[in-house]
Structure 1
């Protein structure tokens, strides 16, 4: 067990500027945002801040009636907070590992629960996986992000990226799937014979099948989602 004097502890854990720009990994589980303008973060993700920053929940019509309607249907947890101002903002999500992605005109799908923060220059839209709604706890939805700018995603432990090639589909557990490239459209398949291979929760015989050309990101953890509209 490590023991430190107060001075040693402060020196070991003190925040340090690494000069990495807008998004900076202060640790692998804590994101520093060097804010000068505006940023979107997952609601409840703010850990600390310094400077003149105004932090407010997204307005009900902030992103248009269509997105509000989708959110009402999904009952999901991608509620966003808008941070505006100048200073340093620190965000995290339950100690999950953070990865920073710099989009340069590409698109990516991210599981709604794994999206931590993104620049306002990126356009986004909620995509509900209707065929699987109700089959998993709280259903399953994702966010499509496209454009130029940085975004931060989270995963339980280290993420693994699998390359999808034509004629060589990749199958994943929905509860362990974090993100995938914008050109892929997953298909949901059920196979009772694979029940003992995929998952240990409800809907365990359901897999996501990725075909074509691109990539899919998985985590070594099965995350169970609960709809905000679910009671009990």
Structure 2
């Protein structure tokens, strides 16, 4: 059989029916969810499914008025959908690499644009990063995931995890920061004036400073969160 034949292509890329865990990587950039009840997923991330699955956009009062207020400021990046039913569900997000993590009564903060899916046993809460409000659009928020269960996060290309230890802070570009451990509270650090900021969209002048004991996950890619002024 030719290595370029259609049959060989199907053999190499077809669904692997042997995988039966709740979350599995069908490919490094495609998540398979073996659904038997429901999960939360990033709105618009469904690319295929089989079985009987119903999709509903997260209700505006699904998690209380506080979340509703926060969502008014975070835009589409934090929008979730509920996938309910039974079958195989396939999720992806702009070809980004997918990382599956299992929480055991733990907490992790994830950039609002990088949370792909999570089990209903994982509690989530939108957290606004209020400092430098008005300077960034879409990148001001993250999602606190806590409890026990599976979550899937995304990264442009291969992620890097940096250890944060006492006395050795880690500074990151907010646009390249994917997630961090729940015991860390980053602070914005800026070395620019309003005059130098106007007309620029450079993330290097604003950093997130992490101090304490934990970890930070970064990606080799800067997502654009800065709001361009228009005249």
**TM norm structure 1:** 0.90
CA contact (8 A) 2:135 2:226 kept: no
The offset of 1:74, in angstroms, is 2.9
Please report the RMSD computed on the Cα atoms of aligned residues, expressed in angstroms.
Answer: 2.1
For residues 75-86 of structure 1, what are the structure 2 equivalents within 5 Å? 75-86=75-86
For residues 1-16 of structure 1, what are the structure 2 equivalents within 5 Å? 4-16=4-16
The residue number in structure 2 matching 1:163 is 163
Most deviating of 124-133 and 88-97: 124-133
Q: Deviations over 1:177-200 (max 9, x none)?
A: 0000000000111125xxxxxxx8
CA contact (8 A) 2:77 2:138 kept: no
For residues 135-174 of structure 1, what are the structure 2 equivalents within 5 Å? 135-174=135-174
The residue number in structure 2 matching 1:125 is 125
> Does structure 1 residue 180 correspond to structure 2 residue 180?
yes
CA contact (8 A) 2:112 2:139 kept: no
Q: Which runs of 5+ in 2 are unaligned?
A: 193-199
Partners of 1:91 and 1:79 in 2: CA distance: 15
The residue number in structure 2 matching 1:204 is 204
CA contact (8 A) 1:136 1:202 kept: no
The offset of 1:224, in angstroms, is 1.0
The residue number in structure 2 matching 1:115 is 115
Q: Deviations over 1:109-163 (max 9, x none)?
A: 0000000000010111000100032222434110000000000000000110001
The offset of 1:231, in angstroms, is 9.6
Q: Which runs of 5+ in 1 are unaligned?
A: 193-199
SS at 1:162 equivalent: strand
The residue number in structure 2 matching 1:197 is none
> Does structure 1 residue 41 correspond to structure 2 residue 41?
yes
CA contact (8 A) 2:45 2:91 kept: yes
The offset of 1:76, in angstroms, is 4.5
Q: Deviations over 1:18-51 (max 9, x none)?
A: 4351000000000000000000000000000000
SS at 2:123 equivalent: strand
The residue number in structure 2 matching 1:58 is 58
Q: How many residues align structurally?
A: 222
CA contact (8 A) 2:174 2:206 kept: yes
Partners of 2:36 and 2:230 in 1: CA distance: 40
The offset of 1:3, in angstroms, is 6.3
CA contact (8 A) 1:164 1:215 kept: yes
* Residues 19, 231 of structure 1: alpha-carbon distance in 2 compared, 3 angstrom cutoff: farther
CA contact (8 A) 2:39 2:120 kept: yes
**TM norm structure 2:** 0.90
Partners of 1:23 and 1:140 in 2: CA distance: 28
For residues 27-38 of structure 1, what are the structure 2 equivalents within 5 Å? 27-38=27-38
SS at 1:179 equivalent: strand
